[in-house]
């Protein structure tokens, strides 16, 4: 589990494509504290650490993960939002994020709004019903509050700190992001469906 609070922007150091794809990710973290088998959110996708060296760690992604996320487009130099798994007793600064990407959203627009930037994203059609005004969404692993919703499109306001400490600051219209819907929205929708079927 994660909270959607990014603590480092890593960079893809190497990509090795074989049965699965292996990514080596450079980080400013002290990697001596990263255990083999640890889960790390990499731009919203929960990946398992398979190797560690000073200043970097390696993860592997299956063909399914590459097809359902933006990871298939990662190359050497690609920036990656990083978050270590939540420990019991840690501060829950964002919202509960599983690291299981539900789909890929598109960046529709960005415009300044005060010191912040207002982004409009478009969710995949199957996920649009889970996005609610004032609800939460994770984009590239970043916990965000939804400002407004219109059909499949939704707006978020991103403050300067988040712009400079995550990869979201570089987003431009046409870019894609990994999207995870709010876990509470998913379960609420399931309950309403079951009530509608008379269960």
| Same-domain pairing of 114 and 63 | no
pLDDT in tens, 9-44: 999 999 999 889 999 999 999 999 999 999 999 999
Is residue 3 situated within a structural domain?
no
Domain count, the chain: 2
One domain, residues 69 and 119? no
Do 112 and 77 share a structural domain?
Answer: no
**Domain finish residue from 49, 84, 119:** 84
| Structural domain includes residue 93 | no
Q: What pairs with residue 49 in β-bridges?
A: 59
3-state helix/strand/coil string of the chain: CECCCCCEEEEEEEEEECCCEEEEEECCCCHHHCCCCCEEEECCEEEEEEEEECCEEEEEECHHHHHHCHHHHCCCCCEEEEEECCCCCCCCCCCCECCCCCEEEEEEEEEEECCEEEEEEECCHHHHHHCCCCCEEEECCEEEEEEEEECCEEEEEECHHHHHHCHHHHCCCCCEEEEEECHHHHHHHHHHHHHHCCC
94 part of a folded domain: no
How confident is the model over 52-73, as pLDDT tens digits?
999 999 999 999 999 999 999 9
Within-domain flag for 92: no
CATH number assigned to the domain comprising residue 31:
2.40.30.20
**pLDDT score of 187:** 60
Name the residue range of residue 76's domain. Answer: 8-84
Residue 98 lies in a domain: no
Q: Note whether 79 and 138 are same-domain residues.
A: no
Are 75 and 110 contained in the same domain?
no
Query: What is the pLDDT of the chain when averaged over all its residues?
Result: 92
Tens digit of each residue's pLDDT (9 = 90 or more) over 90-121: 766 778 899 999 999 999 999 999 999 999 99
Split at pLDDT 50, 70, 90, the class of 199 is: low
Q: Residues 24, 76: one domain?
A: yes
């Amino acid at each position: 589990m994660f909270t959607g609070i990014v603590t480092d922007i890593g960079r893809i150091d190497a990509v090795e494509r074989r049965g699965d794809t292996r990514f080596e990710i450079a980080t400013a973290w002290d990697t001596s504290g990263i255990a083999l088998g640890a889960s790390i959110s990499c731009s919203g996708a929960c990946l398992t650490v398979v190797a560690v060296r000073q200043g970097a760690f390696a993860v592997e992604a299956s063909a399914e993960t590459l097809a359902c996320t933006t990871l298939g487009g990662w190359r050497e130099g690609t920036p990656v939002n990083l978050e270590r798994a939540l420990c019991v007793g840690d501060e829950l600064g964002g919202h509960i994020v599983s690291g299981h990407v539900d789909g890929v959203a598109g960046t529709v627009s960005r415009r300044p709004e005060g010191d912040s930037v207002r982004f409009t994203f478009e969710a995949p059609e199957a996920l649009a019903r889970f996005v609610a005004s004032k609800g939460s969404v994770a984009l590239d692993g970043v916990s965000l509050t939804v400002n407004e919703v219109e059909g499949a499109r939704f707006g978020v306001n991103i403050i300067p700190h988040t712009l400079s400490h995550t990869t979201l600051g570089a987003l431009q219209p046409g870019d894609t992001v990994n999207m995870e819907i709010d876990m509470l929205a998913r379960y609420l929708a399931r309950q309403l469906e079951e009530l509608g079927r008379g269960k």
